[in-house]
Every structure is written in structure tokens, then in C-alpha cells.
Structure 1
């Protein structure tokens, strides 16, 4: 009887779709902007000042479940999207046509494109990193190249020189792997482990100055710190603890007993400007990184309206603009008809103006009004859903709660009794006797 109840509970939990946060990605030259929410890819071409509908002329399936990871290539010519439908799609950004659809065995948690745009790597929730070559035949399947031993991979980035791939997981680890010339045969050489976080690692970003090809690595996580690493040796260079800054936030901005965490990080190419999103904080925190002194320091909080808690960030160094989005895959407006259900998002942009043209660290920040956003009303109509202004605060408060719960469920390990653990093992699909 007890076993039947547990099985029923497990089955019910498995069928529950948790909210996926809305994601934003910006072309390296800011020629286009993409918002992913639920299974939708919303694209706006800033150069052509028009909305774009991604097409799949190959007849492959479009995303049918929440998109969990997106990435532009370093040259901006390719874009990859992946998620809970176990599908990875690679798009050409000049036409926004899909050039490859790859099937994954498990749900995808991270995706990245190699610096030479020859490979796409993706990570699944079992901690395995897979790779597919864009040089090979269209039907070439993905092959596994490395693994994190059953720990969810939360972030994956290629180093600026393309020689290494950094992967972070839920179990506090950052692994630096040498990216081999023949990657399809596996990435077997581990360069280092960056160990120091005391809670899950949620995000990674590389920074390097113009005279450096290697640079340094930034990471953020559930211990509310941003850490700076020499990733070649695995040495921790500096820890920027943000508990004091988060503690200064108003009580209304952080819910009681809420686990605060760095959920997203992005940086200018020279590291002089770092933006982070903190769970339940309605705004972003700005930091700066001194690559010579190898330090990271807090600069300021940029607060937004109370109902706006960013779920994803994208920084375009050349334009000195930080793009942010808020939304969740299960947030729709009750005002919309059943024939016009649309997932809701909100896009806000912070512009940075240099006080001193010779000092890259000397900046003023300004939160742009909707009328000042590049692309204006056309862009906002494409990237955001329809939402009555009076309902905005309540709707996005619900989105923030849904995303927070989803993040906690993914990042914080569930605790099971011995009996329940053994039952879960017996009910694994690969352990069941096939009739």
C-alpha cells in the first residue's frame, strides 16, 4: 500500500511542469535580440527594425516544451536553443532558418557554441556533456565527451581562446576541460577543478583584457558570492561576498526565509563591468573587476519597479547596454482569450554612460524608459506579451514566485529516506524488466 502511494506521488511529481524562467540573448553587435519563454523564440532584428519569425525549412519539430538554454556564437552567425523537449536547434542568424535539429536523450540544461563555430555542446540533467559537429553530415548524432557524475550542469562556457570548456554543477564544482582538436572522440584531459563555493554554482563568465587571450573566470552561486579564478591552475583569486549588500535591501524585496542566490552573471569583455541578478531582488547588482589586481568589488544596486525581478541578463560591451528580461513559462494573462493565449515577459534595459572617456570603470547607469529602448514599440510588442498595466504587478509577482520555486527545486537536492531511495532505484526505466 505504502509503495503504491509513493509510486503515485512520484508519478504525479514527474508530470508537474515547473516554471522555466524567460531568457534573453543579444547578438554580439546588438543587431538582433532574442527572448525565449516557454517553447517560444521571439526574435527582433534591430538592424532591419522588424520582428522575425524563425523558420525550419528542414521540416524538423519546433520546440514543444520550455526552452532552458540559449546561446549566440562568438561571431553572432549562429544561435542555439535547447530545453525540456530534449531538442537542440541551431539557427543561422542572417535568415533565422534552422540548419540542424539534434535529439538529446535527456532534458537539456546548458548549451554553448565553440569559438570557431564548428561545434555545439549541450549538457543534460544527468551531468553529461554532448557534442555535435557542424562540419559533418546533417544526420550526424551527438556524442558524449565528458561528465559530472549525475550532477545537474548549470552553466557551460568556452574560454575566449577556445582551448578550454568550463562546466559548473549543482554540487559546488567547476570543471575546466581541455577542448581537444578531435572533440568527437571525447574531452578526456581535465585542466583543473575550481573548488571554493559552499553551495551550488549557477553561472559562469569569462573576462579578459585586450592584451590577454586567456583571461580569468567569474562564477556565482547559491552562497551569494562572486568568485574570480585563475582557471588554468584552478586557484581562487578573490571572493566578493554580497551578503552585506543583499542585507541592505528593503525587507519587501526579499521574502522571509528565502534562499538568496546569484542566479545570472554577465560581464564586459574587459571585466570592467559585471552585472548579476540575485534571487528575489528587483533589479541588478553592478560589480567591477580589476584584472591586474585580480579583485572584484561591489559598485552599486540598480533597483527597478517592485514587481520586476530579472530572470536573465545580457550585456553588449560595444553598446554599453545591459538587457534584462523577466517572465516565466507558466505566466499568461487571464485577460486574454483562449484563442490568443500569450506568455508574458517584460524587457528592461540599463544604459551605461562613461563619465571619463579614458576610464572604462567610470560609468553612470540609467534605466531606459520604454520610449528610449532600441527598436521602440515594435521591439517591445514582439518580445513582450500583452498585459494590462493594472495587472502587471500581481502577474509578475506570481512569475517571480514560480521561478524561485523552480530554481530551488532544481538546485537544492531532495532528501529521501532509505526506503524511498531504494524504491526510486527499482522504478528507474533502465532497471525495469522489459516485457
Structure 2
């Protein structure tokens, strides 16, 4: 006989995040399907808890459309506390055997879940393994992986809810400093191409635990300044460090943000609590995992979740951007394993999530950096004092942004940015803008040039400049829609940077690696989906 007991769901959005590109409309279907598979068919009440002031785009609106009640708290820790308090109150007004489903990585839930079971309630924890203790998942009646719950959900067409198809973006492109290889992420797919041997790279040492290609997205990729190391971070929190020569995995850790020092001596990473850790990379043997004595040491603590980490080009400072929209500059200590206790400056001014950081570092200008944000600004800062030197409002670019008539006016967001070495110029990519901006950054910021990319709409979602060849690599969003099960088909283009000036786009046969590189990095759409993808792309404004 089917169990018809009512089901109550609490979801901590901050600790159990959606993979990039995942349609939020699928979440309620995913949870409902998971509960049906466990034998529970009762009515479901959904509550999602988010951080007030955090930029979620249209995610919360889409979740709310499917029946979720949204609660906002002031900090990430407050989300966990709200869920605990709300469940405690819920227990007094509901009778067993109602079903409590908690989607969270809060390690402090163990005693509460145990109390629920003792009083006769059915309990289920849905969690991310990298951030959850074994003790927590052993307490409830059922425990499920968040990635598996999401992956097993049926597809949803947003148009059935009266909403436009959601834009799916290629996450990142990063080129080796000496242009020996180039890497692209598209959703769950990580593609690396060796430009020296002219072939696609096979990463050696993948494990099911750390590289679940079938259920999570690769979120961040980057090379160390020397090109010795390659780092990739997935949406479930696992970070892998690879040799960029043999492509063997050297080390695995859990992190939300990561940075490698310019001399490749240390790697720093931030966990879910806002703690930033440091690991020594000296002495890591090629083709082997790091020795057991390469343990992580606490470098410093942040008041909220760290979303970005980066070292200054000279390695003297480590910068962290957090969920409170501030940037903290720490002096990187001579003995980092003893902690970084000196805060150089705090940079305040952004009003939304900080998406990118780039350094203006040349013979005339040093100790300055740029930050881009969802608040439609690029800001120039002094590292030593934390002073805001200038703010460039890019909302004037709204007239160039591609939107559908059915969508609200587009908000101008900075998606990526890089600086041209030995100059005061920066290259900026903007959401939905089919081109790039060239900014001049000395004591102030000015738009030097607006560069439109000719031909079919090519909207860079990520850009990377090789240090040696002075070639700007760009990747655009996937062309297949979010309702397709097939890997994203993206587009890659390159543009020479000659004497700090951007030239014309290279043809496919002129790009290093040629058509073979493009075939490997861009992907292919199955023949049976071509017509459907073309139609939906046209309807959603995507190409």
C-alpha cells in the first residue's frame, strides 16, 4: 500500500547549490521523483532558504513558480539556523509519521534529525558528500546524494510555465601561459586540447568520488602562472590539481574558490565556512599524489563565504571576494603555514556578487587591480590602501545587449575580465553582449573601444589571454537548449593582441590547432537533435 503521509521539504540553497546551467524548475520534480522512489506519495510542502542580498539571478523566481516558499536570511549560517528552528517549531504542530526531508550540509543537524526519528517522524537527508559528515548521513531513515536527485529528474520545458528558455552558458575557457594547451568547460564536460601534440588530452587519475561527470559541473579552471599546474573545481566542491605536462592528478581537496601562487609554491582554497587554507606544492612528485605531509593549514577566516581567490602577480598579496560583496587583501606571509595575520586592506563598494578580478601591473603602474560585478560596474582599486580609485558604469552598454521581447530589460553584468600584460588595458566580457570592451585603466577607467564580433551572434561568456603568444581566446554559450540531454555545443574564437591592440577575429583555419581543436572543444549536436535545437535556439534568442 502506498504511503500517503504528508512530506515537508526544507532546502538550504546556499549549502546545496544548483549546478550551473541547471533549470531551477526541475528541482521540485527532482525531489518529488526521489520521494516517490522511496515509496512516499503524500502531498509535498516546499521551503527554500536563501541569503538576503545574494545574487541568484532568476533562480529564486523560477523556484517560487513551482510552489516553493522562499525565506531569506542575512548570512549563510543564518540559513542553517532558520531550518533548525523551523523544524523544531514544526515538530510541535505536526503528528508522526509525517516525512521531514532536509536538503542541507549542516553538520549540526544530527541531534535534531535523531530527535525526529525518536518521536516517530520519517526523515531523509539530501546532501553533498564533500561538505557533510558521515555521522549526519547515518542518522536519518534515508540519505540521498543531492547530485543524484538532480540528475534523475525528468526534463522540464519552461514554456509550460509561461517562462522563456533559460540561457545556458559555457563556464570557462583558460589557456596555458605559454599556449601549450587550452581548456574549456561546458556544463558537466571538461575539454582540454594539447596544442603542442595537436590532440585532446585525457586526464589520468580520475575517480568517481572526485570527478562525477554524470552529475556535476566543472565550475572553475585555471593554470598556474608557470604553466606547471592545472586546476579544476567542480560544483560539488571537489578540486583537483593536475600536472599540465603529464596530466596526472596530483592532489584533491574540497573548496569553493582556489588560487595558485605565481611561483607555484602554494595553493590556497576556501571552504564552505569562509575559511581559507594553504597547501605547499613544493616537492610534489610528478605522476604521484601529494605526500601525506602536504596537509592544509588555516591561512585566515572570512566573515562570509569566499567566492573568489587570487594572488597578486608578485605573490605578495592574496585577495578574497566574499558573499558580502567586499574584497579583502591579505599580505601573504613568509611562513604561510603559520597563518596570514596581516590584513592589508578591505575594499568596499560593490552592491552585488563580484564575478572577476584582474590586476593592472606594469612598469609604470603596480599594486592596482580591477573587479567586475553583477552590479553593472568595473571598479579600480589600490591594493595597499583599499581605496576605490574609479568606478566605470557599464550599464550604458544595455542598448547593445541581446534580449527577447518576452523578457524583462536586461541587467548589464560583467561575466569575465583579463588584463593585457605590460599595459594599462583590460578586456571585459558582458552578459548577452556580442563582443568585448577594451578598457584603459590608469588613475581612472575609460572605455577605449567597443569591439563587436562579426557574423552570427557570438556572446563571450569567458575570455583568456595567453601570456606568450598574445592571443585572446573566447568561448560562447552552448547552442543547444536547456531541455536537451546532450552535452553543450559551444563555440570558440581567438583574436590576436598586437602591441596592446586587439586585431580581427582569426578564421577557423588560422586558430592554433585549427579545425581539429575546434571539433574537440566545441562539441557536436547529434543529428536527430539538430532541427529541434535550431528551432528552440531561435525562439530563445540563442544561436
Report the TM range for the smaller structure's normalisation: 0.7 to 0.9
Partners of 2:480 and 2:537 within 8 A in 1:
no
Give the match's secondary structure for 1:347: strand
**Structure of higher CA gyration radius:** 2
How far off its partner does 1:36 sit? 2.2
2:506 to 342, 360, 368: 368
What does the per-residue CA deviation read over 1:60-113, in whole Å, with 9 as the maximum and x for residues that have no partner?
8551121111121111111111122322211111111112222x2xxx432211
Give the match's secondary structure for 1:366: coil
1:188 to 316, 323, 341: 341
Partners of 1:20 and 1:66 within 8 A in 2:
no
Aligned residue number for residue 419 of structure 2:
267
Alpha-carbon distance in 1 for matches of 2:327, 2:411: 21
Aligned residue number for residue 494 of structure 2:
349
Distance 1:196 1:270, change over 3 A: farther
Alpha-carbon distance in 2 for matches of 1:284, 1:367: 12
What does the per-residue CA deviation read over 1:143-194, in whole Å, with 9 as the maximum and x for residues that have no partner?
332233233x332210111010111123220110111122223222110011
Distance 1:30 1:56, change over 3 A: same
Aligned residue number for residue 353 of structure 2:
200
Alpha-carbon distance in 2 for matches of 1:13, 1:398: 34
Aligned residue number for residue 298 of structure 2:
144
Alpha-carbon distance in 2 for matches of 1:370, 1:275: 22
Partners of 1:225 and 1:242 within 8 A in 2:
yes
2:480 is aligned with 1:379: no
Distance 1:5 1:159, change over 3 A: closer
Q: Normalising by structure 1, what TM-score?
A: 0.76
Aligned residue number for residue 162 of structure 1:
315
Aligned residue number for residue 276 of structure 2:
129
How far off its partner does 1:393 sit? 5.5
2:228 is aligned with 1:90: no
Distance 1:110 1:307, change over 3 A: farther
Aligned residue number for residue 63 of structure 1:
211
Distance 1:158 1:303, change over 3 A: same
Give the match's secondary structure for 1:323: strand
Alpha-carbon distance in 2 for matches of 1:4, 1:150: 29
Partners of 2:403 and 2:409 within 8 A in 1:
no
Partners of 2:188 and 2:487 within 8 A in 1:
no
Alpha-carbon distance in 2 for matches of 1:110, 1:282: 28
Aligned residue number for residue 416 of structure 1:
none
Give the match's secondary structure for 2:315: coil
Alpha-carbon distance in 1 for matches of 2:541, 2:268: 30
Distance 1:160 1:281, change over 3 A: same
Give the match's secondary structure for 1:243: helix
Q: Structure 1: any 5+ residue segments left out of the alignment?
A: 355-359, 402-435
Q: Which has the higher contact order (CA 8 A, sep 6+)?
A: 1
Partners of 2:426 and 2:438 within 8 A in 1:
yes
How far off its partner does 1:331 sit? 6.1
Alignment of 1:28-427 (within 5 A): 28-56=177-205, 61-64=209-212, 65-102=216-253, 104=254, 108-135=255-282, 138-139=291-292, 140-151=294-305, 153-210=306-363, 214-249=366-401, 255-289=407-441, 291=442, 293-303=443-453, 307-327=457-477, 341-352=486-497, 354=498, 360-361=499-500, 363-387=501-525
Q: Normalising by structure 2, what TM-score?
A: 0.62
Partners of 2:401 and 2:434 within 8 A in 1:
no
How far off its partner does 1:115 sit? 1.5
Give the match's secondary structure for 1:48: coil
Distance 1:138 1:37, change over 3 A: farther
Aligned residue number for residue 429 of structure 1:
none
Alpha-carbon distance in 1 for matches of 2:393, 2:211: 38
Distance 1:394 1:301, change over 3 A: farther
What does the per-residue CA deviation read over 1:120-152, in whole Å, with 9 as the maximum and x for residues that have no partner?
11224443322222237523343332233233x
